[in-house]
Amino acid sequence: MAQELYQLSATEISQRLAKGELTSRALVEALMKRYHALNKKVGAFTHLDEADVLAQADASDARRKAGKTLGPLDGIPVGIKDNIAVKGQPLTCSSKMLAPLVSPYDAHVIESLRAAGAILYGRLNMDEFAMGSSTENSAVQKTFNPWDLARIPGGSSGGSAAALSAGLVPLALGSDTGGSIRQPASHCGIIGLKPTYGLISRYGLVAFASSLDQIGPMARTIDDCVLLLNALASPDARDMTCFNKNHRQQLPEVAAKSLRIGVPKGVLGKGVGAEVAAATQAAIDFYKSQGCTIIEVDLPSSDLAVPTYYVVATAEASSNLARYDGVRYGHRSANAKTPIEMMTNSRSEGFGPEVKRRILLGTFVLSAGYADAYYVRALRARSKIRAEHLAALEKVDMLLTPTVPTPAFKAGEKISDPLQLYLEDIFTIPANLAGLPALSVPCGKSGHLPVGFHLVGAPLSENKLLAAARLFEAAHGFANQLPTL
C-alpha cells in the first residue's frame, strides 16, 4: 500500500523533493487536509496561517525549479512551539497574559530555518510559559495524546509531540527546561533531543528559567532529528551563553557497538512502572548483545535533582516573569483605578494557577531570610549534581535511564496534585541542571502507549547519543510509527 504524504519522514520527503517526485505545495496541502480533519481532536496547533504556509511552499518550489535549493530542509514544514518568536505570528506562550501579542522579530532558530528554506508551519500548544508536564496548563486549549485521546501528551512541548505523533507535521521545535522535549517525546513515541546548553541560541525564546532553557529538535526518526539539529546549531552573538565557532568542536564519534553505557545504580526501582522498566531493561540488554559495555555508575545526589530544580527554576521564573506587569505589553486589566491595582489585577487575570504557584514559590526562595536556606543551597546541590555526572561520564560514553517513570496518564488525573506532576521529570531534570545533552528514544509499549529510554552524554556529545540511538532504531520497529486516528 502506498504511503500517504503525512506518513513520510522528513528525510524521505527531502529525497522525494530532490528527485522531483513531490512538490512542497502538494505536501503542504496534504498536511493541511489532515490538520482540518484531526486538529480539533488532538489540539496540537493553536494557530496556522494557511495562506502564509502556501506562499512559503510556492517559494520553495520556485527555488527548486530554478536550481537554487537552499538545502535538504528546503520545502519541509516545521511546527513551532508557541514560545519561540516568528515575525508576524502570534507569540502567546499559550497564556492569557500574552494573548494579543504578535512577534515583531524572528528568533535565531527561525532565522536559521528560513535560511535553510524550511516552511514555518503554525504555532503549537504548550503548558503556559512552559510550566507543566501535561499541556493541561495551556490557557488556549487542551492537547491530547494521539495514541489515546483520553490521555495527556506530556509537556510542556505537548503540542509539538502530539503534532508529530498524529502526522500533522514532519518536524517540530520544542523547548526543554526540565524535560519538556524528552518527556512528551516518550509519551508520544517520537524522538526528542535536548542539546548541550549553549549549542543552540536562546535568542527569541521566551524565558522561563534562563540557565536551564534550551530549544531542541523533535522528530519521528533519528535521521530527521539530525537534519533539524544541523540547521539549528549555529553561533549567535545575541545569546552570550551560545558557543562561538571556536568552542563548538564536538567530541569525536565512536563506533556505536563499542560504546560504554552507564546505568545508574537502582534506576529501575525508583517508582518506575513494570512495563517501562522491562522496556528499558530490554534496551540495556540489546546494547549489551551488540558488544557495548554496560557499567553500573553511582550518582548519589540524583535524589536531590527534583527539589533542586524546583528551587532554581522557580526563582528564575519569578524574576523573568516580573516584566509582565500590564504596563509595557501583554494583558492589561480593565478593572483598576490605581497603578498598583492595574499591575496586581493584570497579573492575577493574565497568569494561570501553575504559573502563579511557581512565581510565589520562586519569590519565597529568593526573599530575605530564606535565600540562603533555599536558593543558595540549591545552587550548591546543582554544582554537586553536575560534578557527579561529569565524573561518571569520564568513565562511560553515556548514561541510560527510562525517560519517564510511567506511560502517559489520563487527562485530569494528576492536575490537582502538582507534586506528582513534578516527579514526571525525575530522570530528565539532571541533564538540565548539568547542561548536558540528552535524548529520548522510543523503545516499546506499555499496553498501547509508547515509552522511551533516555540517553545523557558529556557536553557536545550529541553525535555519540545519536549514533547509539540509530543503532537501536535500526534493529527495532519503533521509528516513524503513527497511531490510528
The three-state DSSP-derived secondary structure of 47-87 is ECCHHHHHHHHHHHHHHHHCCCCCCCCCCCEEEEECCECCC
Q: Look at residue 394 and tell me if it is in a domain.
A: no
Q: Rounded CA gap, 283 and 464, in Å?
A: 16
Catalytic residue among 9, 14, 60, 81: 81
- Asked if residue 416 has pLDDT above 80, the reply is no
Confidence of residue 298 (pLDDT cuts 50, 70, 90): very high
Structural domain count of the chain? 1
Q: Look at residue 113 and tell me if it is in a domain.
A: yes
Q: Look at residue 342 and tell me if it is in a domain.
A: no
What is the average pLDDT across 385-413? 97
In contact, 456 and 437? CB cutoff 8 Å:
yes
Q: Determine the pLDDT at residue 2.
A: 66
Cis peptide before 302 (omega within 30 of 0): no
Q: Determine the pLDDT at residue 1.
A: 52
CATH number at residue 15: 3.90.1300.10
What is the average pLDDT across 388-396? 98
Lowest mean pLDDT among 161-170, 197-206, 244-253: 244-253
Q: Rounded CA gap, 442 and 188, in Å?
A: 9
Confidence of residue 329 (pLDDT cuts 50, 70, 90): confident
Q: Look at residue 327 and tell me if it is in a domain.
A: no
Task: Supply the range of the domain harboring residue 70.
Answer: 5-253
3-state SS, residue 391: helix
Burial 271-284, CB ≥16 within 10 A → b, else e = ebeebbbebbeebb
Catalytic residue among 180, 186, 318, 461: 180
Q: Look at residue 47 and tell me if it is in a domain.
A: yes
pTM over 0.85: yes
With CA atoms as reference, report the closest residue to 188 among 206, 161, 170: 161
Catalytic residue among 24, 94, 95, 156: 156
- Asked if residue 436 has pLDDT above 90, the reply is yes
How many percent of the chain have pLDDT more than 90?
A: 92
Is 81 annotated as catalytic?
yes
- Asked if residue 320 has pLDDT above 90, the reply is yes
Confidence of residue 171 (pLDDT cuts 50, 70, 90): very high
Q: Look at residue 429 and tell me if it is in a domain.
A: no
Q: What are phi and psi of 44, to 5 degrees?
A: -80, -45
Is 440 annotated as catalytic?
no
Q: How many CA atoms lie within 13 A of 65 on its CB side?
A: 10
Is 211 annotated as catalytic?
no
- Asked if residue 404 has pLDDT above 80, the reply is yes
Q: Look at residue 281 and tell me if it is in a domain.
A: no
Q: Look at residue 265 and tell me if it is in a domain.
A: no
C-alpha cell at 227: 537534519
Question: 34-77: per-residue pLDDT in tens?
Answer: 999 999 999 999 999 999 999 999 999 999 999 999 999 999 99
Cβ neighbours for 390, distance < 8 A, ≥ 6 positions apart: 434, 458
What is the average pLDDT across 353-369? 96
